């Protein structure tokens, strides 16, 4: 089997984590690029990567590279995605995949035109636990899914100069942590939800500090999402079925959950290995690339982006580098 060669675009902390845990027998990290050759060389030496590039264009011009992992700050994702697709590379992009629905639709259209695979690096769509929960829903006769409650709160200092609260760097809770909460909900819902109502609290810098969202879909599966970027909250999702509920802690990379029955008895559901979370998604992505099949997780990513865009439109929150029409 031919080895798939990966190139890394953007060499921050998340790229270091990617290089550390990458473990695919039929794939390898072939190169890494930065705007500085010195920085790229230091990164490739640290992680034993064979090729360093002093510009993104240089890496994209290398015919040996099959896949680009976009690990730049998310306000630069769109440019990196489009450049990579135009260079004939498949793209695996960090979250949030783009800033808004308009950007994602443009990227999807280009990927389709070029017959290339585009996907968001969202572990939630690939963790074995979630398929096991769905199996247990049937095996334990839990009945229909009725509602989902999701929370995510992270305490960050209210410093407008850091990326979390800087509007010029696309700061705010929605694109930073809300994407996880909404991806969890969408993964477990049986159909796309619509945004019914939302409230937000802006920070002094103008980005979203706190918000709540209420969603519903055609099957009357209701979702409540609570986000906060200045208060610690559990990364917890609760799936409420007719005959029990399942609590999933640390849902971005979980390998166990607790099922609670109406009489109060509990049962642990386990599947997969949280420490290997990244490699589940890498394996699945490579399988799609090899098979030239449609990437079904991109539809989930699109549904989440629609909700995030609709919420910001209702708030009237537009980043300085966006136009109000970007949120239509």
What digits encode the pLDDT tens for the residues 205-249? 999 999 999 999 999 999 999 999 999 999 999 999 999 999 999
CB-CB contact of 183 with 125 (8 Å): yes
Average pLDDT over residues 38-64: 97
- The answer to whether residue 294 scores a pLDDT higher than 90 is no
* Residue 1 confidence (pLDDT): 62
pLDDT for 59 beyond 80? yes
Instruction: Give the mean model confidence (pLDDT) for residues 28-45.
Output: 96
pLDDT band at 305 (very low <50, low <70, confident <90, very high): very high
Residue 24 — pLDDT band, cuts 50, 70, 90?
very high
Integer Cα distance of 272 and 278 in angstroms: 12
pLDDT of 293 strictly over 90: no
Task: Record the pTM.
Answer: 0.96
List of residues 6+ apart from 292 with CB closer than 8 A: 115
Q: How many CA atoms lie within 13 A of 128 on its CB side?
A: 14
Average pLDDT, the chain: 97
Measured CA to CA in angstroms, residue 169 lies from 16, 72, 111, 164 at distances of 20, 11, 26, 8
Q: How confident is the model at residue 292 (pLDDT cuts 50, 70, 90)?
A: confident
What percent of the chain shows pLDDT beyond 70?
A: 100
3-state secondary structure the chain: CCCEEEEEECCCHHHHHHHHHCCCCCEEEEEEECCCHHHHHHHHHHCCCCEEECCHHHHHCCCCCCEEEECCCHHHHHHHHHHHHHCCCEEEECCCCCCCHHHHHHHHHHHHHHCCCEEECCHHHCCHHHHHHHHHHHHCCCCCEEEEEEEEEEECCCCCCCCCCCHHHCCCHHHHHHHHHHHHHHHHCCCCEEEEEEEEEECCCCCEEEEEEEEEECCCCEEEEEEECEEEEEEEEEEEECCEEEEEECCCCCCEEEEECCCCCEEEEECCCHHHHHHHHHHHHHHHHHHCCCCCHHHHHHHHHHHHHHHHHHHCCCCCCCCHHHHC
pLDDT per residue over 117-166, tens digit each?
A: 999 999 999 999 999 999 999 999 999 999 999 999 999 999 998 999 99
Q: Cα angle at 307 between 174 and 135, to 5 degrees? A: 100
Q: Across residues 308-318, what is the average pLDDT?
A: 98
Domains of the chain: 4-122 (3.40.50.720), 124-280+304-327 (3.30.360.10)
Q: What is the pLDDT, as a whole number, of residue 317? A: 97
**295 confidence band (pLDDT: 50, 70, 90):** confident
What is the maximum span of the chain, computed from C-alpha positions, in angstroms? 62
């Amino acid at each position: 089997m031919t080895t798939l060669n990966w190139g890394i675009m953007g060499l921050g902390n998340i790229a270091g984590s990617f290089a550390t845990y990458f473990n695919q027998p039929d794939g390898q990290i072939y190169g890494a690029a930065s705007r500085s050759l010195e920085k790229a060389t230091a990164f490739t030496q640290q992680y034993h990567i064979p090729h360093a590039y002093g510009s993104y264009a240089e890496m994209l011009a290398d015919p040996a590279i099959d896949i680009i992992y976009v690990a730049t700050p998310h306000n630069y994702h769109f440019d990196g995605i489009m450049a990579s697709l135009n260079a004939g590379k498949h793209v695996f992009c960090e979250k949030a995949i783009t800033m808004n629905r308009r950007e994602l639709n443009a990227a999807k259209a280009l990927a389709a035109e070029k017959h290339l695979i585009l996907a968001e690096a969202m572990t939630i769509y690939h963790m074995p636990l979630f398929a096991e929960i769905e199996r247990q829903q049937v095996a334990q006769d839990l009945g229909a899914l009725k509602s989902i409650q999701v929370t995510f709160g992270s305490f960050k200092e209210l410093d407008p100069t850091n990326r979390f609260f800087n509007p010029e760097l696309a700061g705010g809770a929605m694109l930073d942590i809300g994407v996880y909460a909404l991806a969890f909900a969408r993964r477990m819902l049986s159909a796309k939800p619509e945004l019914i109502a939302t409230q937000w609290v802006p920070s002094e810098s103008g980005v979203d500090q706190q918000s709540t969202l209420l969603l519903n879909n055609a099957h009357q599966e209701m979702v409540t999402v609570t986000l906060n970027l200045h208060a610690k909250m559990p990364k917890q999702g609760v799936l409420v079925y007719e005959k029990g509920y399942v609590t999933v802690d640390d849902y971005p990379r979980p390998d166990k959950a607790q099922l609670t029955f109406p009489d109060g008895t509990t049962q642990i559901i386990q599947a997969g290995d949280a420490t290997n979370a990244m490699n589940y998604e890498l394996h699945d992505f490579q399988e799609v690339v090899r098979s030239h099949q449609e990437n079904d997780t991109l539809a989930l990513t699109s549904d989440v982006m629609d909700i995030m865009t609709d919420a910001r439109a209702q708030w009237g929150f537009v980043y300085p580098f966006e136009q109000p029409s970007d949120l239509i």
